[in-house]
Every structure is written in C-alpha cells, then in structure tokens.
Structure 1
C-alpha cells in the first residue's frame, strides 16, 4: 500500500485514451445523472452511440487544474479499462481534486477505498491485484504500487471503488492511470 511521489509522471501510462485505451462503458457503472430527462436521453442514445463520459477518466489531464471528471451514483461503482496493450501492471494512479481546489473546501465525492483487478479479457473474472486508500489530504494524483509483483499480463483493468469520503449521491474520478 505504498504511495509514490510524482515518479508516476516518468512511467508509461497504458490507460491513456490518446494512446488507444478505452473505458468499456458497458462493463462499467452508469454515469451519475441528476434528472429523469438526462437518464432517459442516456438510455435512448445508448442504442445509437457509446457514451463519452467514461472516457474523461483516461484522457490526458496535464496541467495544474483538472479539466473534468466522471461521476457515478453512490459510493460504490467501477470502471473497466481496455489498455493500449497487454502489460504486467506494477502501479496505478488515481486522481481527484484537492481540498484547496474545491470551492467548498471539501472533497466528499473523492474515492476512498478501492481495489484493482487485472482481466485477461472481458469475459473472465479478474485477478485481485490490491486494495488501496486514496488520501483525501494528499496530492490530487496519487500513485500506488501493487503489494505483490504479478507475472501475469493483462489487457483490461477493473477499478472498483468501494467507498468515498462521505458523498451519498455520487463519487467522482478525475483520472486513472495504469503503469
């Protein structure tokens, strides 16, 4: 459960949209919506196109200020990411805004406890790679080293959020990286 400093910026990110990674929205939690109209529009559009909301999670967010987030309803949810290529995973990075960046000084919608699962393909049960805690008083982008080196190669990763820091309505994620 160790955390690294910005060394993650020097590691390849295999969950980056611009390099070909994709969030498999059909295997991920639904995007949080506040009105019945938004929910109905999402349902109708899902017949014709795929959601782009989930993709925000793996877009390049370089720069000091975050550009957007993907939120799902409640404190528990998940996202499955198809990586740019099958890799041996050693670290993951999870991001949310800091308390200083928040207009209210609180980040209750930030993830708290989460687990990572490696998937050989979408049809298989994932292999548990580790459970971690995102520090609400830490940096906006936090990198976690897997507790045990895994020799397996994975083409997909499941990010499972178990709890957040107190928001009953939604949990928001600003970025997710796989190293």
Structure 2
C-alpha cells in the first residue's frame, strides 16, 4: 500500500491542487530510484489516458442527438392545435392599459416542446391540466418513425427537488394522413430518476411511415393538477 501511495501521490496532489511532493525535485530532496521512476511514469501515463477517455465520454453527445429530428420547429415541424390538449394557464401576467392594471393567465405554447433545445430550464415547458393529455405534431417531412426522445428537467435542478409534473406512462401514435387511423408505435415509461432526455426505441415491426405523430400521456409522477412536457424529438428515416 505504501508503494502504491508513493507512485500515485504526485498525480493525486496534482488533481487535488496540493503541491507536488519534495522527492520529485533533485534539489533539496532525494532522487526517485530508477525502478520506481519507471513505475511512476507508467502509472502517470495510465492516469492521463484514463482522464482523457473520461473527458471524451463526457463531451460525446448521445447517438440520438446526432441524427435528424423530424419534430423540429425550425426545420418545418408544427403543432396541430386542433388535436392537442389546451394549455394549463398557471402564470398570471399583469399589463397596464391607460393606467389600469389588467391581470390575465398566461401559458407557454405547445410549440416550445418542438424547439429542439439541448438544455432544459425549470418552468420553460408546455403544461396541460390534469395527468392525461395529447400533443399532436406535423413532422417536417414524412418519415419512418424508429425512436423518440422525451425530455423533462431532472430532480437535480428542480427547485423543489422533485418532479411530480413529469410524464410517467405515455404512448406514441403515427399516421400518414389525418383521415387515416393512428398506428400505435409503442407505450413507454419515463423514469423520473433517469437522465433529462430519455430515448425510446420503436420495435422494428411497428415502424410506420408518418406525417403526423401524437404524444399521448396517460399519467404523471403524482400531481393531479397539471403535467409539463419540455421536449419531444422524433427520429427515423426519410420516406423514399
């Protein structure tokens, strides 16, 4: 154990900000024996390689973030309001008109869900009343839907330390035209203990060409008042 500390102490001190041990300097201290010097350099190289590998993993985006998102507003996708639940107006806004203060409820549009944001901010979401609701999107292009990504803030950044408004059980439906019946692509479970963005794979036998996709939420994580949806992505292959 003493030899291991002898070899790793300089690196540990470097990572923690403590000054290097005196025996690494030739002046005023003992020189490192040749055998230990080789072992030390080998351990140091291994630590540097491991640190670089960790950095590369942290910086690498998830696979789904590097492929097309057919539910992206800036690429032409939109929300079909007629087939989408009404927004929950929890915020009260005050404006002054001719000296009179007018207060009215304000709510974010459902289109915030398809803005494709990679960072989620508490409160910057679309909310609907209760724990069941639908959001129907017109995709930017007809696509063979292969998987979807649902985003919500995590408990770590939630002001209350909990996310009872997050979706829990939900289903995804796809259809090529508004006149045709929607095809159920799958039912999934959003894990409140998981990452903010969670990807869900559509079974291959259910891959369907869709121009319209509906996110149907069946329950949330405990609050009967309203449910929040922060982000929803639709991935797949462009129709040939």
TM score, norm. by length of structure 2: 0.64
Work out whether residues 135 and 214 of structure 2, in 8 Å CA contact, stay in contact via their aligned partners in 1.
Answer: yes
* Pairs within 5 Å for 1:29-178: 29-34=85-90, 37-38=104-105, 53-63=109-119, 65=121, 68-178=124-234
Structure 2: gaps (5+ residues)? 1-60, 93-102, 236-240
Structure 1: gaps (5+ residues)? 43-51
The structure that has the greater radius of gyration is 2
Aligned residues: 164
Answer yes or no: is 1:16 the counterpart of 2:83: no
Work out whether residues 110 and 171 of structure 1, in 8 Å CA contact, stay in contact via their aligned partners in 2.
Answer: yes
**1:48 maps to which residue?**
none
Q: Deviations over 1:108-142 (max 9, x none)?
A: 00000000001112232210010000000000000
Tell me, in whole angstroms, the C-alpha distance in 2 between the residues paired with 1:89 and 1:152. Answer: 6
Q: Deviations over 1:93-116 (max 9, x none)?
A: 000000001000000000000000
Work out whether residues 146 and 207 of structure 2, in 8 Å CA contact, stay in contact via their aligned partners in 1.
Answer: no
CA shift in 2, pair 1:18/1:142, >3 Å: same
TM score, norm. by length of structure 1: 0.84
Work out whether residues 90 and 149 of structure 1, in 8 Å CA contact, stay in contact via their aligned partners in 2.
Answer: no
